[in-house]
Structure 1
Amino acid sequence: MQNGGESGGGGNSTQSNHHSVPVAIDPDLISELESQINAPPKLLSQLAGRSSCCIFRVPQSLAEINRKAYQPQIVSIGPYHHGNPKLRMIQEHKGRFLSDLLARPRTPPGSITLCDVLDTVYPLKESIRESYSEALDIDDRKLIEMIVLDGCFIIELFCKVGRLGPAETDDPLFKMAWVLPFLMRDLLRLENQIPYLVLKALFDRCIGNFTCTNTNTTNSSSSIGNNGDEGDQDRPSLAKLALVFFNYMVQRPVQVLGKYYDCEGKHLLDLFRQTYLPPKPELLRHPSKFLQLIQSARKLHLAGVEFKPKKSESFLDIDFKNGILEIPVLTIDDFSSSLFLNFVAYEQCYSDSSKYITTYATFMGCLINTPSDAGLLCDQKVVENYFGTDDEVARFFNNVGKDVVFDIHRSYLSRVFEDVNEYHRNNWHVRWAGFKHTYFDTPWSFISALAA
């Protein structure tokens, strides 16, 4: 009985240990937590997961590698860099460009007023907000003002450069040779975009009945009225104006650009990116379950792989057959390097985007691991280096595919990855390549081999 009593007493003690002890809760703590519960996220808004959201801040993991590549250097477009005092010079010209756009001659005669422009943009204000991954801390009036100035600046810039109208020989922005290249790069930065639907609405309202009086007769590869389709030169599409504008930097054949004059993108960066993508997605072969990245160019070369430049409309068109890796010539310079980084950033951020550029960047990053790899591909005429030293090219490709995510098994180069690795694993190829490098690199080596 006594033991039972002790046991029972122990049980009561155990129960009492599980009872909660009243604690005085700090009301400020409750208030703080409630405010966080009720506060919507700003840096990555709840709308960022929708397909309508297409303009992003570049992730820190990518931006820290080359922050300058993602930030505008001369002009701000959209809200992310709006008000930056370093970009004030071009900002002061946006009003003038808006005035010039409104003053353009039209058929039938009639003016476009500021009210017309505002009426075009105002109904789109919610779509504009939904296009950005960050919640915009700006009222509707300021938002519309910014979008009108930025959108009309872009359209008038395209018109001036495309020679839609009399040439302005005294425009200060075109008298300084460095301005246009910087503008072209800035208009293709992911953080420096406005929705294409806004540009298209402004374009249709302001240029839809514009009378074209093209005066350019000197640059047939980049002019609007001298590119082989004179029948529509009075009604250039927005895509046509944009692609001709950017073609001053890349100099692609007009026949290639012409295929995309009716395209539309999420924004200008996406539009330009689409011109490099295959017209139809490739039917992917099911690769092996274990698929890995390839070796560097130098190692593949020692294993017998040959590198040859390939003529193609797109740099993405890589092929491997019978030990020959054919790669379209890639020109590396300040413009293309910035373009690559922003293409990849867009594909990484926008979930509905294909990953063609990311796959290509990863593939080239595998090939170019060291300055020696870069030098080899330059010697083989696969890479044209206007960027700097072989070391700088290697460093660029090491970084452009760093910390990116893509599914190698579902990538458009999955077959190339698999076939190159299979060729590299073949011991006969390695032995034969070693024999060639030993005995046939020079005529004297060849004679020595015969003598042996």
Structure 2
Amino acid sequence: MEFGSNSWKLEESQLNNNSKQDLCGSAIGRTEPTMKEEVERFHKLGVKHEVVKTVLEAQNMMLEAKSRDSKIDQRVGELIEQQQDLVSFKKEYGSTVVTSINRRDREIELVWPALQHPTHHYEHIVDSIPDPEQIHEHSLLSEWCIYKVPTTLLKVKEVSYTPQLISIGPMHHNKQELKEMQEQKHIYYSSFQARLVNKNDLMHYTSFLEHEEQHLRRCYQKKFSNISKEQFVHMIRLDAVFIMELILREAEREKHKNDYLVTQRCVSKSIQRDLMLLENQIPMTVLEKLHEYDTVPSSVKKPTRFIELAHNYFISYYPHQQKSMFEPCKWENKNILHFTDLIRNSYLPKELRSQAKHSQEECLLRTATKLNEAGISFEKVHNRCLLDIKFEKKRFFSWFLCLGCLPRCKLFKARFQIPQLKVDHTTECVLRNLIAFEQCHYPEAPFICNYVFLIDSLIHTKDDAELLVEKEAIVHELGSDQELTNLVNGLCKHVVTDSTCYHEIIEDVNGHYNNKWKWAMGTLRWVYFRDPWRSSSTIVGVVVLVFTIFNFYRVSDMLF
């Protein structure tokens, strides 16, 4: 029914002045009489039954509308007062705020269903608007260094980012499946306490943690409001002492033959894996402070920095070197944030290449088999940082790639030099966490991401993996080359970068591949000079052909 229609208007002849006054007063302020009583009262005054019923229905609708307007205004006023930002509020809730009397009926229709359950309707919207404390937090983004793995990466392979045996820090604290190691932490705590020359050192350390508690909290991307200051300090102290005691025991393993965390390699490797996970970290400053106290036994040469102990502990996670030696000069001016950052820096060369912005088309590289067909040779190199990939060719000699089959004739080769990558069952976990860390903390310097993207562009099929394995650029302990292909292709899923440190290599390789003459020389070498047997067969064939042609001309001269 529309209020503006004429279907409910009363005829002037049916209402005297008293009945009109009574009707208006009832329509505005009276709600107690029932519908039946009102109909009987107006019927006695001479008003038709249908007209009275229609008027009363309109009256009730007007009262309901007025009540709804009041509730809407009250709710809107509360929200505006809470947010103290009317402009932002109208932008968010413009479709539900009553802004015009002429649109009142339409606004009521939109808003009224939500007001039946106001808390349910608004709680997710109001929560999404940051309060001043949250805005202050976002101004401290530069202090974050321990992140929650982005959901897009986590969904690809969650197990690679989740601790299996031990929790470190607040992100996985109190998980039921990791409770077993809490008892071992307390055992290690007692052992570490016995190491101390000064028994008050742990009290001083606790005071240090209490003083730095707020700063330590700001190192984490996620808030932990459910953990009190005392709980937080106790947790960080227990985890730091456990890590320190574990690393010291690893350095003197022969003295701790009864400790299964050290002697059972499957357990020690699992703990080592958990300690490098991005979400399972505590700030390095906490461990460096603990290392300042006199705890290292005389049988172990005390390093000048804790980072040296940590570097040696994770030595098996550096697949690019057979024996990784700690180089103090490399770490002298580096601020290492935690173990994940330590391993990332161990992968980087001393001299970092500059990053260059690129489009998706510019960073594309042909697969290993395609490049090999174009005359590019893949070579393994040792004693070089994993990311130190090079593409070398001589300007003049590279035009005659077919001669590259000759022994010791590297001048005629276009060589793609890749430091040997050793892939085992922990490599994927390590690379995934390094990639996640770079995506969160080093978006402008994604060197690990660049490396993985380059390897991924070379390997699309099993044949590509077989070629690189054959050239020993990659060695692996997986079941098959197909597993290697699946592993490499899955690492870059949902990873986003807009720059690369390999832009010069990509340009040179693509320039070589797109050169028709070099492609022809490469094809000639691939088809006829791929190996010594094929090369010798080709040479013999050419000699026979030349000899046949020579004899043909000689016979022709004799006959004619």
> Into which bin does the TM-score normalised by the smaller protein fall?
0.7 to 0.9
Q: 1:444 is matched with which residue?
A: 537
Cα distance in 2, alignment partners of residues 301 and 89 from structure 1: 52
How many percent of aligned residue pairs carry the same amino acid? Answer: 26
Asked whether the 8 Å contact 1:196–1:264 carries over to 2, the reply is no
Q: Is 1:253 equivalent to 2:336 in the alignment?
A: no
**Amino acid in structure 2 at the alignment position of 1:141:** E
Deviation digits for residues 203-250 of structure 1 (CA, Å, limit 9, x no counterpart): 22xxx3335322xxxxxxxxxx5xxxxxxx334421011011111454
User: Which residues of structure 2 form unaligned runs of 5+?
Assistant: 1-99, 394-413, 546-560
Distance in 1, matches of 2:173 and 2:152, equals: 23
Of 301, 326, 348, which aligns to 2:439? 348
Q: How many Å separate the matches in 2 of 1:311 and 1:283?
A: 23
SS state at 1:64 partner: helix
Q: Tell me if the contact between 2:359 and 2:498 (Cα under 8 Å) persists in the aligned partners.
A: no
Compute the displacement of 1:129 (Å).
1.5
> What is the identity, as a one-letter code, of the residue corresponding to 1:415?
E
Q: Identify the residue that residue 389 of structure 1 maps to in structure 2.
A: 480
Greater RCO structure (CA 8 Å; 6+ sep): 1
Partner residue, 1:298: 369
1:115 aligns with 2:203: yes
Q: TM-score, with normalisation over the residues of structure 2? A: 0.67
**Partner residue, 2:466:** 375
Higher mean Cα deviation, 193-202 or 301-310?
Answer: 193-202
Q: Tell whether 2:286 aligns with 1:198.
A: yes
Q: CA RMSD in A?
A: 3.0
Are the equivalent residues in 1 in contact too, given 2:375–2:526 (CA < 8 A)?
no
Code of the aligned partner of 1:297:
A
Length-normalised TM-score, structure 1: 0.82
Matching residue of 2:428: 337
Equivalent residue number for residue 432 of structure 1: 521
Q: Given the alignment, which residue of 421, 428, 431 partners 2:510?
A: 421
Per mean C-alpha deviation after superposition, the further-off stretch among 441-450 and 141-150 is 441-450
Cα 1:430–1:34 shift into 2, 3 Å: closer
CA distance in 2, matches of 1:56, 1:285: 26
Aligned pair in 2 of structure 1 residues 274, 89: CA closer, same or farther (>3 Å)?
A: same
Q: 1:303 to 1:256 in 2, by over 3 A?
A: farther
Q: In structure 2, how many angstroms separate the alpha carbons of the residues matched to 1:33 and 1:67?
A: 27
In the alignment, does 2:384 pair up with 1:316?
no
Superposed CA deviations along residues 38-95 of structure 1, whole A, max 9, x for unmatched, are 6669999944971211111211221222211111111111112112222223222101
Matched, 1:67 2:149: no
Q: How does 1:7-406 map to 2 (within 5 A)?
A: 19-21=102-104, 23=108, 26=115, 28=118, 32=123, 35-36=126-127, 46-47=137-138, 50-106=141-197, 110-112=198-200, 114-136=202-224, 137-163=226-252, 167-204=255-292, 208-210=293-295, 212-214=297-299, 225=300, 233-250=301-318, 252-260=322-330, 262=332, 263-283=334-354, 291-322=362-393, 323-351=414-442, 354-406=445-497
Provide the C-alpha distance between the structure 2 equivalents of 1:52 and 1:403, rounded to a whole number of angstroms. 25
Alignment partner of 2:426: what SS?
A: helix
Whole-Å Cα distance in 2 between the matches of residues 245 and 179 of structure 1? 15
Q: How many residues align?
A: 410
Relative to total residues, which structure has the larger helix share, 1 or 2?
A: 2
Larger radius of gyration: 2
For 1:386-424, what per-residue CA distance to the aligned partner results, in whole angstroms no more than 9, with x for missing partners?
13311111111111122212223xx21110111111111
User: What one-letter code is carried by the residue in structure 2 that aligns with 1:151?
Assistant: A
Tell me, what secondary structure is at the counterpart of 1:437? helix
